[in-house]
Amino acid sequence: MPNKLNFNNIKGFLCDMDGVIYHGKEILPGVAEFIQWLHAEDKKYLFLTNNSSFTPRELRQKLLRMGLDVTEDHFYTSALATAEFLKRQNPGCSAYVIGEAGLSNALYDAGITMNEVDPDYVVVGEGKTYSLDTLNKAVDLVMKGAKLIGANPDVCGPVENGIVPACGALVAPIEIATGTKAYFCGKPNPLMMRTGLRLLGCHSAEAVMVGDRMDTDVISGLESGMSTVLVLSGVSTVETPKTFAYRPTVILNGVGDIVKEAQKSK
């Protein structure tokens, strides 16, 4: 069985969003109480999402429509992680981008030029701009020498009526056609986790990763030295951890249980 965790002693919370804070357009039970508790207890927190489609401003507005007021500085996305990686690797580089505003804006703000002719990188995220034409273009550019970057390795993501293909699934045809493996910048890449901890101003021993996926959220927290919480409000069930060689520190039904557990520990 997973160990107990005293949430009152945790200084920083890194939280996934899809399946943890909301599902589609609906806020999940206990989330409002969880955010109120974070503020009341003066906890540091950051929403760390692999979804590359949205900017922090758009994520803030999405939560506002659901009745939650969270400022932009509490969001960090795989799009921002991708832009930071490319900026550090190759300042002033260019990229052919398949993705939404969250990805293209992050790259633009990092000084990366959009280029459909001879880019340094082909960068892929989620989005409606993905098509056979953009796929063919990406394959051609990678074959000509562009490096292949994926915003995150997730193969699917939750929506109101089920799941949809995510970045990992969209990158796969390019990998197969070119024989080239993509480099993924989102969770569980430790670069994204270390940036999240730096933004929180917390050491890994003082922080916890909260998510609904074993293969991105839990393993990213584990490999970064953090305690981990698997919530069952998204894609995982109580049986899911049994298929993995590692386990979360705690399994809870949702983030509202964090508040209940903290109150019990006082």
Q: What's the one-letter identity of residue 257? A: D
**CB-based contact 27:66 (threshold 8 Å):** yes
Burial annotation 200-237 (CB, 10 A radius, 16+ → b, else e):
bebebebbbbbbbbbbbbbbbbbebebbbbbbbbbbbe
The gap between the terminal CA atoms of the chain, to the nearest Å, is 22
**CA 251 to the chain's CA centroid:** 19
**Is 118 among the residues known to form the active site?**
no
**Residue 182 in 3-state DSSP?**
coil
Comparing CA positions, the residue from 206, 263, 236 lying closest to residue 16 is: 236
Amino acid at 34: F
* 65/59 Cα distance (integer angstroms): 10
What phi and psi, each to the nearest 5 degrees, are found at residue 10?
-85, 130
Burial group, residue 87, by CB count within 10 angstroms (0-12, 13-18, 19+): middle
One-letter amino acid identity for 48?
L
Query: What is residue 42's three-state secondary structure?
Result: coil
Active site (annotated) includes residue 18: yes
Tell me which of 18, 120, 154, 257 is the catalytic residue: 18
Q: What residues pair up with 205 in beta bridges, in sequence order?
A: none
The set of catalytic residues is 16, 18
